[in-house]
Amino acid sequence: MKKPGMIVAIEPLRHTSESRRIDRPTKPATKLLIGIDPGTRTGIAWRVDNQQMQVATKSLYDAMDIIEDLVKQYGVAHTRIWIEDARINRPVFDRGQNHAASLKIAQNVGSVKRDTGLLEEHCKRQGVTPLMLRPSSSKWSPKMMLAATGIARCSQHARDAAKLIVGK
């Protein structure tokens, strides 16, 4: 007797090798790489699998939104993030300029360090622990960026972010 909400099978279940087959993905899992150069103008670069790299220069909060959207779209398990960490370097403020200039440099460095900490915390809240890297003293020229990524025009911040993920 059929009761309300009861499921009735129209055909009997068959136990064949076909019904026990597990579907395997036909392509490997997606890999999302994100590089971040923190600062007042935050450089962010990302690449999915072997697709063309994308770069942008955004405010801190806009960069956080991009990270959140990308992690939601591609998943925590497939995401790797590298952040240039100014907190690793020993500060050197006196470079032969006057006292006011030294104070301004110190203030800017403090701001970048704070932004770095906020970005690191934001990534962790998304479920991804970023790899924190020492800033490189060498910078890429636009020609070097074009040769490495195929991207012709972007800011120095975006080039610094791209440099973190090229070759990974």
Tokens 């120095």, residue located: 156
pLDDT score for 103: 58
Burial class (CB in 10 A: 0-12, 13-18, 19+), 2: exposed
The answer on pLDDT for 108 being more than 60 is: yes
pLDDT score for 28: 56
The answer on pLDDT for 19 being more than 80 is: no
Give the homologous superfamily in CATH for domain 28-165: Ribonuclease H-like superfamily/Ribonuclease H (3.30.420.10)
pLDDT in tens, 111-139: 788 999 999 999 999 999 999 999 887 88
Can you tell me the mean pLDDT for 69-74? 95
Q: What are the residue ranges spanned by the domains of the chain?
A: 28-165
DSSP letter at 39 equals S
pLDDT score for 62: 96
Rounded Cα gap, residues 157 and 154, in angstroms: 8
| C-alpha pair distances (Å), 137 with each of 6, 44, 72, 116 | 69, 18, 33, 17
Do residues 83 and 133 touch, judged by C-beta distance below 8 A? Answer: yes
The answer on pLDDT for 25 being more than 50 is: no
pLDDT score for 87: 84
Can you tell me the mean pLDDT for 141-166? 94
Do residues 137 and 147 touch, judged by C-beta distance below 8 A? Answer: no
Query: Helix 142-149 vs helix 156-165: angle between axes, to the nearest 10 degrees?
Result: 40
pLDDT score for 112: 84
pLDDT averaged over the chain? Answer: 82
